[in-house]
Amino acid sequence: MLTINHAILHAYDFETSSNYESTRELDVSDKAIRSYVTRLARKTLSSSESKHGEFSPESNFHQELLRYRASELDFVALSKEIGDFFFEELMKSDDKLPYDLLVADVTDTEKASAPQTDEEVDASFEGSSREVLAIVLLARKQGYVHDVREDMHLTDIVKTDALLPLPTQKVDSYAAIDLGSFEIDFADKARTIAGQESFIIPDGLLQCTQEASTREVIQSVTLAVQDVAEEYGLTPAVEVSRAKAYVTEQADEAEAIEPREVGKKIFADRPEAQARYEEKMRESASAASIPEEVPVRPSVAHRIAKNHRIRTDTGIEITFPSEYSSNDDFIEFTTLPDGHISITIKGVEHIENR
């Protein structure tokens, strides 16, 4: 559940070099405003594509957040500093799209599972609440709206560039900073400033490190497991689903995964396969940004890795819980003498058309 503590929206018009800074917070008691801000904030906090980072010792923004936490800087003033930074950087950028900037202070309380009793409800929220500052750069869209002119008895059609993106649309530039631990999740796209490619959120505003996203880590891990399984004559579908099951298990237990430990778990009885997995991980294009341990929220891990989907060369598609790959009571993969693979689904009492 998300609770909005503060929210504000600033607007930019680069054609007229205008920075329309708001001096008042959004009225989040308004249902439409609250819904829009909540959905955007939830998107930034739960995205599997967010890269992770930590503030550098030289980060000025980190110091401003410390002042904000100590009530030495109020929310509107903090948002104005953020807004001024983005306006100045985007003015220098070749990217002259019209933007709005949403800044929100939210309290995030995530439930790991659905509780059934009052006691379970209390337990599910214990220690899981965190305050987060969400910074979202919103690219406005052009569109058409009707304009009712009562004095002229006319309903007209007007073109506008003031349309905010729908909360269901992908946002490519944002940051979410945990105001307790100061851990950072962010996404950004490259922009050309003064002839050079630049990422203004991690390098400019935050001044933080850049580590691979949860999705990138899981993709690197599963690809390495698949390649090693193929090389050593194992069934890739089984080994990859086992890797996914291990990832979700670790996320539930420790809210983190150690990518290089996956090979030790999956290929525990094959030292040579473990060594090959390590080599594959080092060869990965994103290996340089994959740390020894990656923080992973359980909800994100479950969304990516809870289920495994396979498609045979005969056109049959099967989706099954990743954890079933290690339990022959539910699904069994058998390699036949001629090299073909037999898939047996067991323990089924009822089949539904989907």
In this prediction, residue 216 carries a pLDDT of 87
Polymer length of the chain: 354
In this prediction, residue 119 carries a pLDDT of 43
In this prediction, residue 179 carries a pLDDT of 96
Burial 315-340 (b: 16+ CB within 10 A, else e): eeeeebbbbbbeeeebbebeeeeeee
**Residue 267 phi, psi dihedral angles, 5° rounding:** -110, 45
Would you write out the chain's pLDDT as a tens digit for each of its 354 residues?
A: 899 999 999 999 887 888 899 999 999 999 999 999 999 999 999 888 899 999 999 999 999 999 999 999 999 999 999 999 999 999 888 877 788 999 999 999 864 333 334 444 344 444 468 999 999 999 888 888 888 888 777 888 888 878 888 888 889 899 999 999 999 999 999 998 878 888 999 999 999 998 888 888 888 899 999 999 999 989 899 999 999 999 999 888 888 888 888 999 999 999 999 999 988 888 775 555 677 787 777 888 888 889 999 999 999 999 999 989 888 889 998 888 888 889 999 989 898 888
327: Cα separation from own chain's centroid: 31
| pTM assigned to the model | 0.80
Query: How far is residue 283's CA from residue 271's CA, in Å, rounded to a whole number?
Result: 19
Q: How many CA atoms lie within 13 A of 110 on its CB side?
A: 13
Residue spans of the domains in the chain: they are 2-139+165-206, 214-345
In this prediction, residue 289 carries a pLDDT of 65
Angle at 250 between CA 248 and CA 252, to 5 degrees: 70
> Is 189:172 a contact under the CB 8 Å cutoff?
yes
The interaxial angle of helices 271-283 and 259-266, nearest 10 deg, is 150
In this prediction, residue 110 carries a pLDDT of 66
In this prediction, residue 288 carries a pLDDT of 53
Query: How far is residue 211's CA from residue 296's CA, in Å, rounded to a whole number?
Result: 12
Query: How far is residue 214's CA from residue 304's CA, in Å, rounded to a whole number?
Result: 9
